[in-house]
Amino acid sequence: MFHKEGFFIIITTFILCAASALLAEYFVGYKPIRIALQLGALVVLILVLQFFRNPSRNTVLNANHVLSPVDGKIVIIEEVYEKEYFKDQRLQVSVFMSPINVHVTRYPMSGKINFSKYHPGKYLVAWHPKSSELNERTTIVVENDIFGEVLYRQIAGAVARRIVNYAQVGDSVVQGTDAGFIKFGSRVDIFLPAGTPVEVALNQVVRGGETVITSK
């Protein structure tokens, strides 16, 4: 299964790769070069397909859990001052996504969308300390009765060039369902109340819609 945000790119890439392979077949006489070009086209197509894959996830709905919104690796767990929305100390948990990760963003918990805002910006590498403030990003706040308000932020990286966010203020959303997509790499930050105990560790690999970040 592939994410709908990739359909146009997948079709375009397939046409270009198929055309390249056919042109190489008919116009490149030297066999090793012809095969190399055709294999190169096939590799490009496979890379695009794997990037836009959208595997089903076994999300167990639980109001007492905040789940990871994305696949990737935990790169930050620290208390910081969140200055856009809360304007106070929060526990930040950040997940870095490499180009080979699934890039679907999923709602970390069920609840109501209280805030959703897009910010244009730079394209620093996603692990840069200032990327959450300077890069292109979206900020979304979900509220439920157990955790109150939880903020997550989609952040573009050096390669990413488009963030897709489906969250609209006032929406009622369901934990683990499709919340958007970040095309070609990036990071997602989650901001929890200060002092929140977490169930993940630095450098741990997590799965969107399945790995529990914190529970009550």
For the annotated catalytic residues, the residue numbers are 186
Backbone φ and ψ for 37, nearest 5 degrees, come out as -65, -40
Q: CA 196, 198, 200: angle at the middle one, nearest 5?
A: 160
CB neighbour list of residue 17: distance below 8 Å, 6 or more residues apart: 41, 42, 44, 45
| CB-count exposure of residue 62 (10 Å: 0-12, 13-18, 19+) | middle
Sheet of 104-106: strand order equals 104-106, 178-183, 162-165
CA distances from 113 to 79, 130, 214 (A): 23, 26, 20
CB 140 within 8 A of CB 165: yes
